[in-house]
Amino acid sequence: MVFNIFKRYCFSINMAKVKLVIFDLDGTLNNSAQTIKYCFRRTGEYYGKYDISEERLDTGLTGPFDVNISKVLGLKPEQVGEAIRKYSVHFEETSPVMSKLFPGSTETILYLKEHGCKIGLATMMVESYAVAILRNYGILDLFDSVHGTTEDFRYRKEDLIRFCLIDTGLNAEDAIMVGDGLDDHRAAKVAGTRFVAALYGFGLDKEYCIENDIPGISDVSELKDLINQLS
């Protein structure tokens, strides 16, 4: 189990009790890789791009979406807004069908709440979409705070983390951010929270955890054991 491999890194984190767990959505709670890739491909067709490689699509699975869509589709700055609107139409149609919660996500959230943790969501997905996805999974009511970005992408990930802290009345040292991307880790450092890498997601691996002295989990359910160690 990956938790055992990274046990000494878990203990290097401040041992203060964890009062708030803030999750990323895509690649952390929600397995949406096929949805995202499908929507990139369909959007790309509008711009005459029919041969986007898997490797290129993979680069768009984590991080700020406006940056990703420009990078994956090779768009000019003036095309990004239009492309996002076209992508959104495909996403609304396909996400309920093609995306699924990672096994153990609901059970882990319930466990954390039963053990006194508040639950937050900080995602670079547009907030209304994130809320709809959680509602579709039947888990929206389990969250004490849900924040996504706006359609004009005015917020960064660290802003969303801070909004979760404000909603719950907690300090950064009370919280852990769980995410699968470089931007998740960067934002947690900026916001001052602790961080756990979701290694089963789209962007981080064991080597990154070792290099950055952070704990990693290979399954969302492992978060229960990790939180017990930190609390």
DSSP, residue by residue, 21-38? EEE-SBTTTEE-HHHHHH
Residue corresponding to tokens 């994130």: 130
Decide the pairing of beta strands 100-101 and 30-31: antiparallel
Please answer whether residues 174 and 155 qualify as being in contact, where contact means their C-beta atoms are separated by less than 8 angstroms: no
* Ranges of each domain in the chain: 2-31+101-230, 33-98
pLDDT digits (tens, 9 = 90+) for 27-64: 999 999 999 999 999 999 999 999 999 999 999 988 88
CATH fold of 2-31+101-230 reads Rossmann fold (3.40.50)
Same fold, 2-31+101-230 and 33-98: no
Please answer whether residues 220 and 102 qualify as being in contact, where contact means their C-beta atoms are separated by less than 8 angstroms: yes
Distances (CA, A) of 63 to 67, 184, 204, 224: 8, 8, 12, 26
The candidate with the shortest Cα–Cα distance to 150, out of 84, 229, 93, is: 84
pTM: 0.87
Q: For domain 33-98, is the CATH number 2.60.120?
A: no
pLDDT digits (tens, 9 = 90+) for 157-209: 999 999 999 999 999 999 999 999 999 999 999 999 999 999 999 999 999 99
